[in-house]
Structure 1
């Protein structure tokens, strides 16, 4: 490996370690002491010169301290496009237009659907579950419209 073509996986691991450090609220001294105490790193106090396998070792230690790796925003699930999902999304946006949603995002819709059905994504709804969500959203809209008249 030369300086002109760094290993992208190694760089990703270093970034991930620094995200973990920030999320675990480790100051610089604490982080360097933790590194120095990890067996097999030879007392290293910086991740810059560690091998990829040692970076994995550091990441495992950070996970044991409570860090959870989450996928980045680029790895999102595609939006459901079946007719039921489009109807659910349309009703959700109607609620947004009525001004009753604190958060009208797709993530908030998925949380609502999960609360109603237990499904983690619109794509995973059965026909019966989709109908249930649609009916609940219609009832919610009707309640809002009744309250405003």
Structure 2
């Protein structure tokens, strides 16, 4: 997500035809840094909004994080196995195995792989 914000900053800079000196001056005045790589995630969001205010035609990414490959795999296996393929139902299923996890998208890689294996075993038992 941070990488995407950096891309948007540079796209906006180019759209505005902002020279390097003006760009670095903006970063220095607003964030006390001379490079966008050195500013925090929330400051990158602010920088994109500033560039939008100057007229750049860039859009912030959706707040919802994109899913990793293994998370997409989990979701597709879930939809193939479950009668009710909703986020809430998957969260309830995951909660049976990891009580401290309230959202399946917050599982780490190993936990996600383990849930996929549980779903595969379930699929074998019910014959779907």
Fold-level similarity (TM above 0.5): no
**What is the TM-score when the length of structure 2 is the normalising length?**
0.44
Which structure would you say has the larger Rg?
1
**Structure richer in helix, relative to its length:** 2
